[in-house]
Structure 1
Amino acid sequence: MGILNVTPDSFSDGGHHNSFERACRHADLMVSQGASFIDIGGESTRPGAAGVTLEQELERVIPLVEYVSANHDVWISIDTSKAQVMQEAVESGAHLINDVRALQEPDALSVAAKLNVPVCLMHMQGQPRTMQQSPVYGDIVEDIVQFFNMRINACEAQGIDRSQILLDPGFGFGKTLAHNYELLNRLAEFNRFELPLLIGLSRKSMIGQLLQADVDERLAGSLAAAMLSVQKGAHILRVHDVKETVDMIEVMHATTHFKTL
């Protein structure tokens, strides 16, 4: 899953694709490099990020959803928590709702149910502006499992079939450095749900803090974390560096399918 942020303040590529033309070219590039999904987002959810209005978010994402839908045969994911953005994005060609707030915003759950597309439920402790201010857990995996159970039950009660649900434990969203690496170490425990795991570790602060590396120096760490995620059961990797991640997966695939090479 290639990340396409059309925001001025996303933590890694903020402003880089903050024009329609540049964003289209970057989508073209990621598809050419092997992305199966393009994840389009118009609101930064980095720690401390300010919110955006509904109108701003629609202006940023809908033209891109329409462009990718018209020009590429890939899945389009809309990264939003707003019900109206979900509605208009799916009507414009999006196939998947990727919500960092797990359909907890007003009308999000009912609208997602009516749209009848897959939804990814992400765990976040707190809200983006404050989530990194002293997050605390009892047992981090069991706490997130409890959250997922509640949100899955809410989805099913609203009419969303379990087969339409994906899960994201939310690396970096209300977690300390130690929390993030414990979560990565125990990622396979989420396979108990028998649902696809969507994992986003690319260039995150858990890589930068560990390696004392700036955002543009986190590729090796991101690839290592992505490889570990796949080994522990990840189904979809949400990444900035598509070509390098595809290469890594190809090498992993060859080690288990060498008899067919």
Structure 2
Amino acid sequence: MTVAEGTDAGMAGDRMRRRIGIRDFDFSRQVAVMAVINRTPDSFYDRGATFALEQAVQSALRAGDQGADWVDVGGVPFGRGPAVSTAEEIDRVVPVVAAITAARPELVVSVDTNRAAVAAAAIDAGAAVINDTSGLGDERMAEVIARSRAHVVITHSVGPPRAEKPAAHYDDVVGEVRSFLLERMARAEAAGIPRERIVVDPGHDLDKNTLHTLEITRRLDEMASLGAPLLVAVSNKDFIGESIDRPQGERLSGSLAAMTACILKGARIVRMHDIPQTVDAVRMVEAILGWRAPVRLEHNTHPTHNV
């Protein structure tokens, strides 16, 4: 290895070490588990099970107890549906953020929003990350985040959330998504958000069909090379249901398989619904990769063991 190569590797390693909220992560050898908390009546997965404030807060705290490092609070689903005003979205997410950060300050709290006004209110309430599924579609979003200490997740999507859109088409989905993320990263940095506070997400299934999403997953290492930690949100999505012919509610095995494939291709934050199973799978992958020591070592370590 040359001196320049060693320096580049060191700089890359530095970019993968992050303090988010009060938590330290080394994404060069660690995977963070992000739990999904939907403060919505029309989530594609839980159909409003955590819409009530107390249920949303308890779900977040339970996820922390089950081993999640991070909880992602959303007040408006990405998919098409009835309009939700900015004021209503703030009313949905801010009390949840405030309650979680007061009860469990060690949990990273992000807010899934594409509105700068919601982001500002969420950061004031204690959110450490804004998870923007529009990829800085709101022209004020980067400015709001730059004024804070919050991280931003820049996600690829096409056009406004909640809107009816034409059938997805890409000439080279990976190349186009990668170019989008690079441009939005540059936009964030130009607005004053340092690279050390940027995370990227290729947006599995967001304005993409199943073939597009499978191609992104196969070539995910091309996204991981962008120089920012890579987040993936694959849990229970339609590309899994269509790939293995399983309805919603029967996609856990497929979700864990897709997540594992993504980790092996460079994903370092996984946004998932089923937290105990996800934590077990992630910790097992970390152990296989040599990033985490076994909790105990007993098998075939004593001469009297025959198994």
Alignment TM class, shorter chain as reference: over 0.9
Task: Report which of the two structures shows the higher radius of gyration computed on alpha carbons.
Answer: 2
Q: Of 134, 152, 159, which residue of structure 1 is paired with 2:192?
A: 159
Please tell me the residue identity of whatever aligns with 1:143: E
Say how many residue pairs are matched. 260
Aligned partner of 1:37 in structure 2 is: 70
Does residue 207 (structure 1) correspond to residue 240 (structure 2)? The answer is yes
Aligned sequence identity (%): 35
- Tell me the C-alpha RMSD between the 2 structures: 1.6
Please tell me the residue identity of whatever aligns with 1:134: A
Name the structure where helix makes up a greater proportion of residues: 1
Deviations 1:17-70 (A, max 9, x none): 010111111112111111100100100112x23331011101111110011001
Change (3 A) 1:259 1:205: closer
Aligned partner of 2:16 in structure 1 is: none
Please tell me the residue identity of whatever aligns with 2:147: K
d(CA) in 1 for partners of 2:59 and 2:122?
A: 19
d(CA) in 1 for partners of 2:69 and 2:250?
A: 25
Aligned partner of 1:135 in structure 2 is: 168
Does residue 55 (structure 1) correspond to residue 82 (structure 2)? The answer is no
d(CA) in 1 for partners of 2:131 and 2:162?
A: 19
Q: TM-score, normalised by structure 2?
A: 0.81
Aligned partner of 1:196 in structure 2 is: 229
Structure 1, unmatched stretches of 5+, are: none
Change (3 A) 1:92 1:260: closer
Change (3 A) 1:176 1:11: same
Aligned partner of 2:61 in structure 1 is: 28
Does residue 220 (structure 1) correspond to residue 253 (structure 2)? The answer is yes
Does residue 101 (structure 1) correspond to residue 111 (structure 2)? The answer is no
Q: TM-score, normalised by structure 1?
A: 0.95
CA displacement at 1:253 relative to structure 2: 2.2
Does residue 67 (structure 1) correspond to residue 99 (structure 2)? The answer is yes
CA displacement at 1:152 relative to structure 2: 1.2
d(CA) in 1 for partners of 2:70 and 2:225?
A: 25
Structure 2, unmatched stretches of 5+, are: 1-33, 295-307
Secondary structure in 1 matching 2:224? helix
Change (3 A) 1:166 1:242: same
CA displacement at 1:252 relative to structure 2: 1.5
CA displacement at 1:106 relative to structure 2: 3.9
Is the 2:128–2:149 Cα contact (8 Å) retained in structure 1?
A: no
Within a 5 Å distance, the mapping from 1:141-152 to structure 2 comes to 141-152=174-185
Hey, which bits of structure 1, 4+ residues long, moved more than 4 A?
A: none
CA displacement at 1:125 relative to structure 2: 1.9
Secondary structure in 2 matching 1:115? coil
Deviations 1:130-177 (A, max 9, x none): 566311111111101111121111111111111111100000111111
d(CA) in 1 for partners of 2:78 and 2:162?
A: 8
Is the 1:123–1:170 Cα contact (8 Å) retained in structure 2?
A: yes
Secondary structure in 1 matching 2:225? helix
d(CA) in 2 for partners of 1:133 and 1:220?
A: 31
